[in-house]
């Protein structure tokens, strides 16, 4: 029989108890709908921020693109469930699923070709992946049309509750995978840029996604997304159970990844790229791995978020908000999973909950004046975050402390 | 990077020596697969633009003039970004909001309190035009001074304590300052959350330029065919920007402070050893950048006569992109990048797709970064991929 470590046991038991307490509070009505929503958003933010922490906190790639992948995930999942819920067709599900699978096949084929020829530069690899993937996705869309009818009939046989849940979970997963696949193609060339330039390019990505969503009905041709007017009528089926389950899975995946040799390689890239390369670590590949996985989490979280309020608006995904996950992981402490989760819930509770309640009547607009002041005070008092270097026993590992390069300004750049 | 090594870790030079004949191999090796995609894209854009030029040259040139006007304002903001980044390696996100404050200061001075007419109040016999010119220049100077003071304060309170902290903390602080300026400005008793009309300090005078020469253009009348409209706003913006750029270049290149700034940007510890007061030099850099942004804010408000508390976000971002495009840390780079951004925004809005113009600006940024990772005028970076 497999031996379960004591810390793991404690963690799982603690998680279950926490889940049950919150679930009890929610179902007994002690928590109002307002606070329920806030807790759900806190959980979703925790997933997004864990993804970003993987990219920035553990792999050292300064990414502002997390919010763009979150947006992609949200709109993808919303479109799939919307078409089922409102239009009673599984068309979006079929097409998206096929597109995701075909893109995966395209990646596999191009990956083989690139590996076999070896002489490509980054831009060429990017171009190859892009062209082949676009072609395969086009094929998938073509193939999806005739398949829609039988799949819809298949789902129609199920009881409506069950089919809704199945499609919802599939939608969330597809959203994650789609975000991951886009991040893979986008990350290929952009990850070679290096720290600040990578951050700027990913910020550009977020803005491009936002602009596309603003014009989703006219330019992209998704009439139901209604562009800048906001998408309404998405089923509100994200429950605390699903958010918590996904959060738990993500925490587990991040923990196990970081404990594995892959995780050590990812961290070594953050510590010192040249040294990591000298140790035989394929730096580019691990950067890409962290980026893709982080974006996958962002897509998942987006899928969950879309079904909390049943309403999506492109302004939720504008670039100002894209700093939120960055603020959360710096608050919680870079490279701390515990800190990220705690800070996400804390951020949601303080910003959306307490600040609204504490501020007196007529001072609601002061919320965003108090928030940056809190931010400034926090940064001045604890520049390394609340949980910098602190970790729960279950998540703790032999990770070296944060490197000098993240704590101070890099010396090599100054001495050029 | 990833592909330059094969499985054995041996470089692919031996195969290069053996088979040089294969065209396909050469094609792949020189990276032409990626380049051809970019070339196709560039050809498409050139085709679009040249077609636009062929069908209506005057409209096209009008757009170019509009783009220049926008680009020069962006240049003033971009200089602040590039100088601050060059010295402290901080993306100063609050810079766009300093620009907004500059616009609001000029709004208060000009539209609310009419202070640009001070000379004709003090000495009523001065000619109207002279009084107006002196008044406008003094308003610009006041806006610049207030923005510089604001930046000094921000630097002193928010950034200096974090000089030794992780870079990301300073970045988050910059975002915090930016939020604070925006939402504090949005309060009813500060700048108000609504759009406010900015009354220009002077009348707009436009000239229509066509093949028959230049003539005065009366507002309300029909634009003469095949002509380009140039307003005095355009001339003021271009002149002011070029003047400030020359001034800045003089400060950075010729004065002692400029020398110290360059030294600090090059190597902070050594600069300190040479007796340079690094902290005050950093403060001065912030101040100069903010003064330029303040002037930009006033010019922007004159060109697009409306002020609102979030008006700094998008121009600030565009200017930042311009600074990166030109090679962040380089002053001529910021200028060139800003002009490119202005043209890209206006031309893509008019000829490619209006709602997509922001997306196109950023796509240009990403493409330029892919081809030249440190921007057009950027130095080779020491970053390893």
Asked whether this complex has an ipTM greater than 0.85, the answer is no
Average pLDDT over residues A380-400: 71
Decide: helix, strand or coil at residue A402: coil
Q: Looking at residue A249, what is its pLDDT? A: 93
Average pLDDT over residues A39-44: 92
CB contacts of A334 in chain B (<8 Å) are 166, 168
Best B166, B186, B268, B313 residue to mutate vs chain A (most A CBs within 10 Å): B166
Q: Looking at residue B383, what is its pLDDT? A: 39
Residue A17 lies in a domain: no
Residue A171 is encoded by which pair of tokens?
């939608």
Give residues 363 to 392 of A whose Cβ lies within 8 Å of B: 365-366, 368-369, 371-373, 375-376, 379-380, 383-384
Residue B382 lies in a domain: no
Q: Looking at residue B205, what is its pLDDT? A: 83
Range of the domain at B115: 55-371
Alpha helices, H only, A28-159: 33-52, 66-87, 91-117, 122-157
From A334, which residue of chain B is nearest by alpha-carbon distance? B168
Please count the structural domains in chain A: 1
pLDDT digits (tens, 9 = 90+) for B137-183: 899 999 999 999 999 999 999 898 888 887 888 888 898 899 999 88
Phi, psi for residue B229 in degrees, rounded to 5? -90, 130
Q: How far is A168 from chain B (nearest CA, A)?
A: 31
Residue B110 lies in a domain: yes
Residue A6 lies in a domain: no
The answer, yes or no, to whether residue B256 has pLDDT greater than 70, is yes
Residue B81 lies in a domain: yes
Residue B191 lies in a domain: yes
Q: Looking at residue A3, what is its pLDDT? A: 66
Q: How far is A89 from chain B (nearest CA, A)?
A: 31
Residue A371 lies in a domain: yes
As a dihedral over the C-alpha atoms of residue A289, residue A292, residue A294, residue A300, rounded to 10 degrees, the angle is -140
Of A278, A74, A82, A263, the closest CA to residue A179 belongs to A74
pLDDT digits (tens, 9 = 90+) for A180-221: 999 999 998 888 887 778 888 899 999 999 999 988 888 887
The answer, yes or no, to whether residue B200 has pLDDT greater than 50, is yes
Mean pLDDT of chain B: 84
Q: Looking at residue B15, what is its pLDDT? A: 47
Q: What percent of chain A is modeled with pLDDT above 90? A: 32
Q: Which of A388-402, B20-34, B160-174 has the lowest mean pLDDT?
A: A388-402
Predicted model pTM: 0.87
Q: Looking at residue A248, what is its pLDDT? A: 92
CA distances from A192 to A198, A288, A325 (A): 8, 10, 23
- Is B358–A207 a contact, with Cβ atoms under 8 angstroms apart? yes
Mean pLDDT of chain A: 85
- Is B169–A208 a contact, with Cβ atoms under 8 angstroms apart? no
Rounded to 5 degrees, what angle do the CA atoms A361, A342, A174 make? 100
Of A189, A280, A408, the CB nearest to B370: A189
- Is B31–A366 a contact, with Cβ atoms under 8 angstroms apart? no
Residue A284 lies in a domain: yes
Q: Looking at residue B8, what is its pLDDT? A: 44
Q: Is B19 on the interface with A (CB under 8 A)?
A: no
CB contacts of B9 in chain A (<8 Å) are 280
Residue B164 lies in a domain: yes
Q: Across-strand partners of B196? A: B307
Higher per-residue confidence, B103 vs A393: B103
Range of the domain at A52: 32-405
- Is B31–A368 a contact, with Cβ atoms under 8 angstroms apart? no
Average pLDDT over residues B134-139: 88
Please count the structural domains in chain B: 1
Residue B253 lies in a domain: yes
Q: Which of A42-56, A367-381, B318-332 has the lowest mean pLDDT?
A: A367-381
CATH of the domain at B323: 1.10.3470
Residue A12 lies in a domain: no
- Is A274–B384 a contact, with Cβ atoms under 8 angstroms apart? yes
Residue A24 lies in a domain: no
Give residues 153 to 172 of A whose Cβ lies within 8 Å of B: none
CB contacts of A60 in chain B (<8 Å) are none
């Amino acid at each position: 029989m497999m031996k379960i470590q004591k810390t793991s046991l404690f963690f799982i038991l603690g998680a279950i108890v926490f889940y049950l307490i919150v679930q009890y509070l929610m179902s007994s009505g002690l928590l109002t709908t307002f606070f329920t929503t806030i807790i759900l958003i806190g959980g979703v933010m925790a997933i997004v921020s864990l993804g970003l922490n993987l990219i920035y906190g553990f792999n050292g790639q300064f990414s502002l693109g997390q919010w763009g992948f979150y947006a992609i995930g949200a709109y993808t999942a919303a479109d799939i469930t919307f078409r089922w819920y409102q239009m009673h067709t599984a068309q979006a599900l079929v097409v998206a699923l096929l597109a995701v699978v075909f893109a995966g096949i395209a990646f596999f084929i191009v990956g083989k070709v690139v590996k076999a020829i070896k002489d490509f530069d980054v831009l060429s690899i990017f171009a190859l992946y892009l062209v082949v993937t676009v072609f395969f996705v086009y094929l998938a869309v073509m193939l999806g049309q005739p398949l829609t009818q039988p799949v819809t009939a298949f789902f129609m046989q199920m009881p409506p509750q069950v089919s809704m849940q199945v499609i919802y979970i599939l939608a969330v997963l597809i959203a994650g995978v789609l975000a991951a696949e886009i991040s893979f193609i986008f990350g290929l060339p952009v990850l070679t840029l290096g720290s600040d330039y990578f951050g700027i390019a990913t910020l550009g990505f977020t803005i491009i996604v936002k602009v596309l969503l603003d014009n989703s009905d006219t330019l992209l041709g998704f009439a139901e997304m209604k562009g800048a007017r906001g998408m309404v009528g998405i089923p509100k089926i994200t429950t605390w159970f699903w958010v918590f389950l996904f959060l738990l899975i993500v925490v587990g995946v991040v923990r196990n990844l970081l404990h594995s040799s892959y995780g050590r390689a990812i961290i070594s890239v953050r510590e010192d790229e040249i040294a990591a390369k000298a140790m035989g670590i394929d730096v580019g590949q691990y950067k890409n791995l962290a980026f893709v996985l982080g974006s996958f989490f962002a897509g998942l979280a987006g899928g969950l978020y879309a079904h909390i309020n049943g309403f999506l608006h492109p302004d939720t995904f504008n670039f100002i908000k894209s700093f939120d996950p960055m603020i959360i992981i710096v608050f919680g402490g870079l490279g701390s999973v515990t800190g990220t989760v705690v800070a996400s819930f804390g951020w949601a509770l303080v910003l959306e909950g307490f600040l609204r309640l504490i501020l007196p009547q007529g001072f609601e607009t002061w919320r965003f004046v108090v928030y940056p002041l809190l931010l400034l005070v926090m940064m001045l008092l604890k520049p390394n975050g609340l949980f910098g270097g602190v970790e729960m026993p279950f998540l703790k590992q032999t990770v070296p402390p944060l490197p000098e390069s993240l704590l101070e300004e890099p010396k090599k750049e100054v001495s050029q | 990077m990833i592909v330059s090594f094969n499985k054995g870790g041996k470089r692919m030079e031996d195969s290069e020596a053996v088979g040089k004949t294969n065209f396909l191999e050469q094609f792949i090796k020189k990276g032409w697969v990626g380049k051809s995609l970019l070339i196709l894209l560039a050809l498409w854009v050139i085709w679009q633009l040249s077609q636009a030029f062929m069908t209506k040259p005057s409209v096209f040139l009008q757009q170019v003039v509009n783009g220049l006007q926008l680009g020069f304002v962006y240049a003033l903001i971009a200089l602040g970004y590039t100088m601050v980044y060059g010295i402290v390696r901080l993306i100063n996100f609050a810079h766009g909001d300093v620009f907004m404050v500059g616009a609001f200061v000029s709004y208060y001075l000009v539209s609310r309190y009419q202070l640009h007419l001070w000379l004709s109040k003090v000495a009523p016999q001065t000619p109207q035009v002279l009084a107006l010119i002196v008044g406008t220049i003094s308003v610009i100077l006041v806006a610049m001074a207030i923005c510089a003071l604001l930046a000094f304060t921000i630097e002193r309170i928010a950034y200096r304590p974090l000089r030794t902290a992780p870079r990301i903390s300073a970045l988050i602080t910059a975002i915090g300052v930016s939020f604070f300026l925006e939402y504090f400005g949005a309060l009813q008793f500060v700048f108000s959350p609504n759009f406010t009309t900015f009354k220009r300090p002077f009348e707009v005078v436009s000239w229509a330029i066509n093949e028959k020469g230049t003539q005065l253009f009366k507002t309300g009348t029909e634009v003469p065919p095949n002509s380009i409209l140039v307003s005095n706003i355009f001339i003021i913006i271009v002149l002011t920007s070029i003047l400030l750029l020359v001034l800045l270049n003089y400060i950075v290149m010729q004065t002692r402070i400029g020398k110290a700034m360059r030294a600090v940007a090059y190597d902070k510890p050594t600069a300190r050893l040479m007796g340079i007061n690094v902290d005050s030099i950093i403060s001065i850099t912030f101040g100069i950048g903010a003064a330029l942004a303040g002037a930009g804010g006033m010019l922007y408000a004159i060109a697009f006569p409306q002020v609102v508390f979030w008006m700094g976000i998008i121009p600030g971002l565009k200017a930042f992109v311009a600074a990166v495009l030109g090679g962040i840390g380089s002053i001529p780079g910021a200028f060139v990048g800003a002009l490119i951004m202005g043209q890209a925004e206006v031309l893509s809005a008019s000829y490619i797709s209006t709602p997509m113009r922001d997306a196109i600006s950023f796509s240009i940024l990403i493409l330029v970064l892919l081809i030249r990772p440190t921007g057009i005028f950027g130095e080779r970076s020491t970053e390893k991929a």
